[in-house]
Structure 1
Amino acid sequence: MQNGTLLAAVDLGSNSFRLEIGRYDSGHIERVEYLKETVRQGSGLDENKNLSLVAMERGWECLARFAERLHGFKKNQVRAVATQTLRDARNRDDFLRKAQAILGFTIDVVSGHEEARLIYQGVSHLLPQSDERRLVMDIGGRSTEIILGQGYAPIRMESYRLGSVAWSTRYFPRNQFTPALLQTAVIAAKAVLDEALDTFSASEWTVAYGSSGTVGAVADILGANGFPQGVITRDGLNWLADRMLRAVNADELRLEGLKEDRRPVLGGGVSVLLALFDLFEFDVMQRAEGALRQGALYDLIDRETDETDVRERTVRWLSERFSVDKAQAQRVSDVATKLFSQVATADPLNGRYSQKLAWAARLHEIGTHISHTSAHRHGAYILDHVDAPGFSMPELHRMSQLVLGQRGKLRKLEADLGDE
């Protein structure tokens, strides 16, 4: 990648949409512009997990403004990532179809593990190089990611289904704060996060970092009110909880450093943070500057070559994990991509399509590890459900359909692959 190349990441979070534009310079990315809009799309999910039209329109309007800033960017310069709300939304395709047309770029709905990987990538690249073993936590709108890592490498990752928007909606109706409501919210958060204690043993890490929205907002409030800058302490968190209870209602809470867009989701975010402090017995949590969007930017750099593209490493890992005959898989891949080049109509995205076809071909036999009978169905199931670093959920599904299509009629694939 040439120095001076502009790169952009769009993060479609449950609470906020963010646009980060950076300039590549000798392996590093220097910020050029950062935009954030509070869309609060996560609060637009109904009891049937359908996004309301109002919530979708808020998202479309925000993406239209982002699209103006991204005019002139090429496909390989932008990565747009959607997280828990669109993982959950049953009508996400309705939103994505128009959203991608407005934005002008593909929007990747990523799994919880892929979200965690990108978060760690963003955090680690903005921290000083060190051998410390880090525990990184990101409290989002509808999910919370926890990652154990060292250097640039994540060691273990999990995503949990709770966050500031979800917990505020569920446990703090009408933005009211009472001791009973706060206690209930913290206990409920502990019930979800309790298993993390077994996954992330205290003996495995030395420093705890918090990334993105809730941690950043709480650190800003505490720093503006006389507590140490850039960290969250147990004393500071208890002080904030006490001030919230005294205010009774979020609208009545008067604190230096509290932004208006954070007020409606503060109760949920603080209750999850209290649960983490209690479970892991933190005395202090460091604020990390990096987040998912920076991770997406560095992922664009890695995708420049097969040697650094995490998707290529994932395909190799799956091949080994499921005992694929690599020589045969490569022959099938070579034939498939050659045939594609002969029949495909001219399209600037043909390179992208060919690469996905090659990856699917190299994995077309993974189902035989389970059974030779209906191996194509087993292989498709694996790709639809595996945690595959670097791939979005729609990418994995399309690859699964290519594996499924190696036997039987192709008509069954038309609905899923029609847009490709």
Structure 2
Amino acid sequence: MPTEATPPLKDGDMLAAVDLGSNSFHMVVARYLLGQLRIVDRIKETVRLAEGLDGHGGLDPSVMPRALDCLARFGQRIRTLPAPRVRAIATNTVRQLANPQAFLMPAETALGHGIEVVAGREEARLIYLGVAHGNPPEPGRSRLVMDIGGGSTEVIIGEGFEALERESLQMGCIATTRRFFGDGRINRKRWKEARTELAAEFQQFAEAYRRRGWHEAMGSSGTIKAICDVSVKMKLTKVSVTSDSLAAIRDKLLDYDTIDSIKLPGLSSERRPIFAGGLLVLDAAFGALGIERMYVSDHAMREGVLYDLLGRDRQQDPRDESIRALQSRYVVDTEQAARVEATAMSLFDQAELPWRLDADNRRLLAWAARIHEIGLVIAHSQYHQHGAYLVENSDIAGFSRTEQQTLAALVRNQRRNPNPASFDKVPDRLVANVQRCALLLRLAVLMHRSHDRDPLPVVELDVDGNDLLLRLPKRWLEGHPLTRLDLETERDLLPGYGHRLLLRTT
């Protein structure tokens, strides 16, 4: 049977977020009570996935067992939760893999749930959302939030619960330690050269951030928390990291010659091997952005994912607003988009049961219909290809990279010859249904090619396996010769998807 639309959250329902970070894997489980989320369980394991990156898009096989073992333990904890109540996010390390499916397929099996890969700026949005909910901002006061992960660093300026500026840099505590101190040795000369190099990367957006300004700065990662712990233990600060305390910690660290010999108050043995890289990133950020003091939040991306799930349940899905923004940015004919969407949804309703389509398929098809013509802003010729490129490569708030690649595949295949390669980035577990949604979008786009405002007649669709039987009134079809020709052409193209189109008149 198809997956039915998930009923709204009710008191007692459980939600879970899984964060597959480059250094640690986190899982947080919450119960929904009286309109709020109450955390009931947290699990964190140090996996250091980024240590397995070989610089060529490959992952050392020795890293896989500890990642999969961790996910299996997470999976046991959330085994009884329905799929729509769980969201698992993979970040920088998986983004860098040449073949992410080689990791994601066994990882999803171990967890028992799908895993989405998010782009850096979407990761930044989720981080800000988590910090904002964990540390409610004062009205009218902006905040800079920074998260130093294992492989990337996100820097955000936001106000209220909205991220206004989002940046993601390819530097993190593991990646930076390996990049500058790969032989285990540290000294002041190396540090100065490395700090200058990292500061240059922050300079890409430092001026714009300084102009916008912020009232307070908060750090949300284990790295910044560890630096704060050292600052407190050294009696430099009480609850924060300052530019002065950061300089004192840096000077103390540089008294040591090797990573292994570092002994700082409050620094755990687990954090020691990657502490220098994380401190270096924060040192460069303070200098480039002019940060004077940074407080630490216990909330991060995993909590942001939970609140994002809650927003979707409350019909406050940021993806809907992002689609509207795309329509506006690329001057989409919204009336035409609405006509195509209505027909696509009608066809979906008729194919849902026999094809076992689900609520996620319906949402993606609707979004694809709303923006199927965005490529026209570039050129009419091959506009479906231009549109797919824009969808896949734009920063679209609320969408994971997996969702954007799926949406791009739908836009790419709305017309002309099938493009099987466009589905290669779609997870194998989703490909069959995404291809079927592409067929429904093709028919909807075809039926409205003339941009005619007159309503269509009743379009009947029966599906049986890979066969589609389309019924249209004979008289209407005779009066629309272009549509008839397009349907006959479509009949010749669909075998490229492994499907067959049959036409009948009523």
2:157 is paired with a residue of what secondary structure?
A: strand
Q: Which residue of structure 2 lines up, in the alignment, with residue 380 of structure 1? A: 388
Q: Which residue of structure 2 lines up, in the alignment, with residue 295 of structure 1? A: 304
TM-score calculated relative to the size of structure 2: 0.79
1:284–1:356 distance in 2 versus 1, CA, 3 Å: same
Report the Cα offset of residue 260 of structure 1.
2.0
1:373–1:84 distance in 2 versus 1, CA, 3 Å: same
Q: Which residue of structure 1 lines up, in the alignment, with residue 218 of structure 2? A: 209
Is the CA contact 2:409–2:423 (under 8 Å) kept in the aligned structure 1? no
Q: Which residue of structure 2 lines up, in the alignment, with residue 162 of structure 1? A: 171
Q: Can you list the C-alpha shifts for 1:168-208, whole angstroms capped at 9, x where unaligned?
A: 00111243221122222211211211122122015521211
Report the Cα offset of residue 137 of structure 1.
1.0
1:388 is paired with a residue of what secondary structure?
A: coil
Report the Cα offset of residue 136 of structure 1.
1.0
Distance 2:429 2:212 in 1: 48
Report the Cα offset of residue 295 of structure 1.
0.4
Higher mean C-alpha displacement, 16-25 vs 335-344: 335-344
Q: Which residue of structure 2 lines up, in the alignment, with residue 179 of structure 1? A: 188
Residues 1:73 and 2:100 aligned together: no
Distance 1:113 1:392 in 2: 10
1:129–1:414 distance in 2 versus 1, CA, 3 Å: closer
Distance 1:69 1:350 in 2: 25
What amino acid maps onto 1:286 in structure 2?
A: Y
Distance 1:98 1:337 in 2: 34
Report the Cα offset of residue 348 of structure 1.
7.0
Of 95, 104, 116 in structure 1, the residue corresponding to residue 112 of structure 2 is 104
Of 37, 42, 47 in structure 1, the residue corresponding to residue 55 of structure 2 is 47
Is the CA contact 1:202–1:280 (under 8 Å) kept in the aligned structure 2? no
Q: Which residue of structure 2 lines up, in the alignment, with residue 334 of structure 1? A: 342
Distance 1:35 1:238 in 2: 33
Deviating beyond 6 angstroms after TM superposition, the runs of 4 or more aligned structure 1 residues are none
Q: Aligned ranges for residues 19-418 of structure 1 at < 5 Å?
A: 19-130=27-138, 131-201=140-210, 204-306=213-315, 308-345=316-353, 350-410=358-418, 412=420, 415=424
1:237–1:194 distance in 2 versus 1, CA, 3 Å: same
Report the Cα offset of residue 27 of structure 1.
3.8
1:348–1:99 distance in 2 versus 1, CA, 3 Å: farther
What amino acid maps onto 2:231 in structure 1?
A: L
Aligned length: 419
Report the Cα offset of residue 49 of structure 1.
1.9
What amino acid maps onto 1:260 in structure 2?
A: S
1:194 is paired with a residue of what secondary structure?
A: helix
Is the CA contact 2:14–2:31 (under 8 Å) kept in the aligned structure 1? yes
Distance 1:161 1:27 in 2: 37
What amino acid maps onto 2:112 in structure 1?
A: G
Is the CA contact 1:244–1:250 (under 8 Å) kept in the aligned structure 2? no
Q: Which residue of structure 1 lines up, in the alignment, with residue 462 of structure 2? A: none
What amino acid maps onto 1:11 in structure 2?
A: D
**Larger RCO: 1 or 2 (CA < 8 Å, sep 6+):** 1
Is the CA contact 2:406–2:423 (under 8 Å) kept in the aligned structure 1? no
1:184 is paired with a residue of what secondary structure?
A: helix
Q: Can you list the C-alpha shifts for 1:94-128, whole angstroms capped at 9, x where unaligned?
A: 00011112111111111111001001101111113
Report the Cα offset of residue 228 of structure 1.
2.5
1:247–1:62 distance in 2 versus 1, CA, 3 Å: same
What amino acid maps onto 1:242 in structure 2?
A: D
Higher mean C-alpha displacement, 224-233 vs 363-372: 224-233
Distance 1:416 1:243 in 2: 47
1:173–1:411 distance in 2 versus 1, CA, 3 Å: closer
Higher mean C-alpha displacement, 293-302 vs 54-63: 54-63
Distance 1:203 1:10 in 2: 33
Identity of aligned residues (%): 38
Distance 2:184 2:296 in 1: 26
Is the CA contact 2:412–2:419 (under 8 Å) kept in the aligned structure 1? no
Report the Cα offset of residue 25 of structure 1.
2.8
Segments of 5+ residues of structure 2 without an aligned counterpart are 1-8, 431-506
1:251 is paired with a residue of what secondary structure?
A: coil
Distance 2:40 2:15 in 1: 9
Is the CA contact 1:41–1:59 (under 8 Å) kept in the aligned structure 2? yes
Is the CA contact 1:175–1:267 (under 8 Å) kept in the aligned structure 2? no
Residues 1:419 and 2:429 aligned together: yes
1:24–1:229 distance in 2 versus 1, CA, 3 Å: farther
Distance 1:410 1:139 in 2: 42
What amino acid maps onto 1:388 in structure 2?
A: I
Segments of 5+ residues of structure 1 without an aligned counterpart are none
2:42 is paired with a residue of what secondary structure?
A: strand
Distance 2:237 2:47 in 1: 30
Distance 2:146 2:211 in 1: 14
Report the Cα offset of residue 248 of structure 1.
2.1
What amino acid maps onto 1:353 in structure 2?
A: N
Distance 1:132 1:244 in 2: 35
Is the CA contact 1:139–1:145 (under 8 Å) kept in the aligned structure 2? yes
Larger Rg: 2
The CA RMSD over aligned residues, in Å, is 1.8
TM-score calculated relative to the size of structure 1: 0.95
1:152–1:415 distance in 2 versus 1, CA, 3 Å: closer
Report the Cα offset of residue 29 of structure 1.
2.1
Distance 1:68 1:399 in 2: 31
Is the CA contact 1:10–1:17 (under 8 Å) kept in the aligned structure 2? yes
